[in-house]
Structure 1
Amino acid sequence: MKILIIEDDPKIRTYVGKGLKEAGHVVDLAEDGEIGLHRALHEKYDVLIIDRMLPLLDGLSIIKTLRGSGNLAGVLILSSLGDVDDRVTGLRAGGDDYLVKPFAFVELLARVEALGKRASLPLSAQSTTLKAGNLEIDLLAHKVRCNGKIIDLQPREFRLLEYLVKFKGQLVTRTMLLESVWDYHFDPQTSVIDVHISRLRKKLGDTGNTLIKTVRGAGYIVDDSF
């Protein structure tokens, strides 16, 4: 993938750029908002990593300008602003994902690659329906069907299943789930995730047990290769 990093902190910019290159991606760097916007408008990128607080032009303004121009590249917002309102604002501005500093590079890489896969789909495939095996999630109607039968899920269970299926085939860490589904930026040291995973599996029956796999000590993965 071709990735643009717009980040004014030289240490983070260099560290992330180096890591992404080692993972086999082509990376361009921009140290302020104006340079970043110019490159994003004049070159084609699969994914953009954009800091919110930038010199000359802030990250949200960049994203709004890009979306206004029809740019559909995946956008990961990288920021030290981690309150729920900050993240909601970033996503509503047109960001696809939001990662709070400090972060683990392995999680950033997983999120970037997931965005790249989604961006590479033809427009016809970028629908409001997610599928995994015989499971289908209607994002607009907030309905889940398994083997053609509607499954009654609580809102939190729906969000959890949606997030797992969006990252189908990839490891989803407990940290990713806590941040994205529960809005926690710390580990509450409870079994809240395990309890909800157990409920999901039970409601989905044999499909849930086969589809949602536990990676001991790391997280979960949706595997529909069966």
Structure 2
Amino acid sequence: MKKAIKILFVEDEEALGMVVSDSLRSRGFEIDYHTDGESALQATLTNKYDILVLDVMLPKMDGFSLAREYRKVNRNTPIIFLTARSQTEDVVEGFELGGNDYLKKPFSMEELIVRVKSLIGRLLYSEESQLEECFVGNYKFNIQKQTLELNGKIKTLTYREAQVLLMLFEKRNQVLERKLVLDQLWGDDSFFNARSMDVFITRLRKYLRDDSNIQIVNIRGIGYKLLI
């Protein structure tokens, strides 16, 4: 029998939390539901989850702080943030902390389930990939560990940074379409997601700047090209 996807779900609005938890269980998911960030973080110390679904505004420890602490020991398990906020800065912050996706409240159960299954599918694909490391110019890029190394100096990337760089590398010296990246890594090509992606491209340029032969070129209206 196929193993149920185990979700750590953290939401302080108990009425909403119970409705979502019951709905997910009825669809075959295994749910560990918590109402505050501290108890949820403790739960991660003794339980293994397939995915975390975290509200941003939580008592005792907010969702961003919870994700930051969790990423210190687990860099791969996907995280979805639930937020009523709409500012681009909040969305970007969530991705920088290692978030993989976000949903704005109110959301439909169908949309949440699609996002969960999509992230689980991408994780399985990543784990099955035989490519563990490669060279991006003079940098050694360890895909599994999410690190860039040059002259003994190691930079650890966030999950999202590593995924964007991997897509650029796989299409190196060719145009990588912006929409393709946004659809695969962010879920859609909305304005907020596009702004978030721009931030990640800027960060990758900074990380790779010590090799002057590397460029990430903006192809206006289309996407980006990694030149090596």
- With the length of structure 2 as denominator, give the TM-score of the two structures: 0.61
**Offset from partner CA, 1:98-136 (integer Å, 9 cap, x none):** 1111222211111111122233456452966xxxxxxxx
Contact persistence 2:81–2:103 (CA under 8 A): yes
Q: CA RMSD in A?
A: 3.1
Contact persistence 2:11–2:55 (CA under 8 A): yes
* 2:87 pairs with one of 83, 88, 107: 83
Which residue of 2 is the match for residue 152 of structure 1?
A: 175
Q: How far 1:142 sits from its partner (Å)?
A: 2.6
Q: Look up the equivalent residue of 2:190 and give its one-letter code.
A: L
* 2:73 pairs with one of 50, 57, 69: 69
State whether structure 2 residue 52 is matched by structure 1 residue 51.
no
Which residue of 1 is the match for residue 15 of structure 2?
A: 11
For 1:141 and 1:28, how far apart are their aligned partners in 2? 33
Which residue of 2 is the match for residue 118 of structure 1?
A: 122
Q: Look up the equivalent residue of 1:97 and give its one-letter code.
A: D
Q: How far 1:3 sits from its partner (Å)?
A: 0.5
Secondary structure, counterpart of 2:28 in structure 1 = coil
For 1:101 and 1:71, how far apart are their aligned partners in 2? 26
What is the aligned-residue identity percentage?
31
State whether structure 2 residue 195 is matched by structure 1 residue 142.
no
For 2:194 and 2:125, how far apart are their aligned partners in 1? 28
Alpha carbons of 1:141 and 1:38: their partners in 2 closer, same or farther (altered >3 Å)?
Answer: closer
Q: Look up the equivalent residue of 1:52 and give its one-letter code.
A: V
Which consecutive residues of structure 2, in runs of 5 or more, have no partner in the other structure? 132-142, 144-162, 196-220, 223-228
**Offset from partner CA, 1:15-60 (integer Å, 9 cap, x none):** 2212221221111100111111111221000011001111111111
Q: Look up the equivalent residue of 2:10 and give its one-letter code.
A: I
Contact persistence 2:79–2:101 (CA under 8 A): yes
For 1:61 and 1:150, how far apart are their aligned partners in 2? 38
Secondary structure, counterpart of 1:142 in structure 2 = helix
Moved more, 17-26 or 112-121: 112-121
Contact persistence 1:41–1:66 (CA under 8 A): no
Alpha carbons of 1:118 and 1:138: their partners in 2 closer, same or farther (altered >3 Å)?
Answer: closer
**Offset from partner CA, 1:139-191 (integer Å, 9 cap, x none):** 4473675xxx96535xxxx2311244459xxxx7xxx44366446xxxxxxxx
- With the length of structure 1 as denominator, give the TM-score of the two structures: 0.61
For 2:175 and 2:76, how far apart are their aligned partners in 1? 33
Contact persistence 1:138–1:144 (CA under 8 A): no
Which residue of 2 is the match for residue 207 of structure 1?
A: none
Q: Look up the equivalent residue of 1:59 and give its one-letter code.
A: G
